[in-house]
Structure 1
Amino acid sequence: MKLFIKRFENRPVDSNCFLIFNEQHRAIVIDPGTQNHTELYEFIREENLKVEYCIITHGHFDHVYGIEDIVSRYNPKCILSNESLAYIGNIKKNLSVFYGKQFSYQIENYIAVCEDGYTINWDGHELEFYHTKGHTDSCISCKINNDVFVGDLMIKGEKTVTKLPSGNKGMAEKSINRMLNLAGIEIIYGGHGEPMTKMEAKKFFFNEN
């Protein structure tokens, strides 16, 4: 069954929110970083979508700022790391204190990704989750068919930021290498900017042609 992917820009910080949906009107939101995201909500309403999961790639403010709205509107099951759970509830860890927002929230309906390769079957598609630490220790990535959603681990045309708290350059390199060697990967969706092909990512991050 075909999946559709639509990208929305988060505010006040430019980051990506992704909406994945199918012809059966079932949907997944990834990284809702906007409170009261009118464009996203209107699209969900117009397409009559049921949001069943909300995936958090990592716990930074610009990727979780809209999580409370998403939960209150659609009551999806959230999928994230245990570290992200702690980040979302802590204004320093999620960096919101530095944006003057001081955002914190306690998620109750969730699945914590505790092991690599954790898989959920969603309407005939496997959602595969991996710990991809490096940008922070809270990062996970999600593979769906030939696509992988990696948050800020890989951003097209930019080196991975590892200087924020709990970042680690060596871990980032290992995580990037692992994602680029997953079987069947074709398109990589980062937490900011446009998606990139696997070949583009290998060339940029590892100088491979």
Structure 2
Amino acid sequence: MEVVRVVVGPLATNSYVVCQGDECVVVDPGDEGERLLRALGGRSLVAVVATHLHFDHVGAVAHLVEATGAPFYAHPADWRIYKALNEVAPSWGFEVPELPTPRDPGERLWLFDVLHTPGHTPGSISLVAGDAVFTGDTLFRGSVGRTDLPHGDWRELTRSVCRLYQLPGHLVVYPGHGPPTTIGSEAAGNPFINADVCGNERQSNRY
């Protein structure tokens, strides 16, 4: 599996072109659709996937879908409140992108196992394939997703990050912004949510 990171847009969103043989999926096409199409290198785009529906992760969705006919996938919990999730965008000087109606990714999509990891948004997902996990804005190198935006939930985020820490420690984390890391590194030393926090969470929430 080949992973190409393309940093796009004014918020430096990580878009990923993930390929196996002649097939590719684009994860979080935040902007600059033509760059992402070039990154395919002539290979077939079989799906476009958003880890969540904040505007900076979906700005090029319509462009890719129109150019290739590939289906678009996002969790229905985000789609139901898409406009509300992005109500802050105009105050930051951004328009809310118009999107095609997404399909539900379910629990398995192409090479990916799909994990529902809410908290940053209600419909945030993480995608696990091979030695990689694409975490969107749930888990970063040395940080975790914001929950002060509309419909964020810190308790849900904590549970989601703790769920990610149950994955093998060698998995490479490809986040929505910033450099990659590993599950093991974040479980050991993330200053916001680490394995110790997860242990305390399990003890205080027995049901």
With the shorter chain as reference, the TM-score category is 0.7 to 0.9
State the shift of 1:185 in Å. 5.7
Give the match for residue 104 of structure 1. Answer: 97
What are structure 1's unaligned runs of at least 5 residues? none
The 5 Å alignment of 1:48-197 reads: 48-88=42-82, 90=83, 92-94=84-86, 95-108=88-101, 110-113=102-105, 118-120=107-109, 122=110, 126-183=111-168, 186-197=171-182
User: For the aligned residues, what is the CA RMSD?
Assistant: 2.0
Give the match for residue 38 of structure 1. Answer: 34
Q: Which secondary structure state, in structure 1, belongs to the residue aligned with residue 149 of structure 2? A: coil
Give the match for residue 22 of structure 1. Answer: 20
Q: Which secondary structure state, in structure 2, belongs to the residue aligned with residue 112 of structure 1? A: coil
Superimposed CA distance per residue, residues 81-111 of structure 1 (whole angstroms, 9 cap, x where no aligned partner): 11332354x2x42243233332232424x42
State the shift of 1:70 in Å. 1.0
Superimposed CA distance per residue, residues 137-183 of structure 1 (whole angstroms, 9 cap, x where no aligned partner): 12011111221111000011224311111111111111011112135
State the shift of 1:80 in Å. 1.0
CA contact (8 A) 1:10 1:16 kept: yes
CA contact (8 A) 1:85 1:107 kept: no
**Aligned counterparts of 2:25 and 2:153: Cα–Cα separation in 1:** 29
Runs of 4+ residues over 6 Å off in structure 1: none
**Aligned counterparts of 2:23 and 2:48: Cα–Cα separation in 1:** 12
**Aligned counterparts of 2:36 and 2:99: Cα–Cα separation in 1:** 22
**Aligned counterparts of 1:188 and 1:72: Cα–Cα separation in 2:** 30
Q: State the TM-score, normalizing by the size of structure 1.
A: 0.83
Give the match for residue 201 of structure 2. Answer: none
Q: Which moved more, 1:154-163 or 1:49-58?
A: 154-163
Q: State the TM-score, normalizing by the size of structure 2.
A: 0.84
Letter in 1 for 2:94: K
Letter in 2 for 1:174: R
Q: Which secondary structure state, in structure 2, belongs to the residue aligned with residue 111 of structure 1? A: coil
Q: Which moved more, 1:147-156 or 1:97-106?
A: 97-106
Q: Percent identity?
A: 23
Q: Which secondary structure state, in structure 2, belongs to the residue aligned with residue 174 of structure 1? A: helix
Q: Which secondary structure state, in structure 1, belongs to the residue aligned with residue 162 of structure 2? A: helix
**Aligned counterparts of 2:48 and 2:195: Cα–Cα separation in 1:** 34
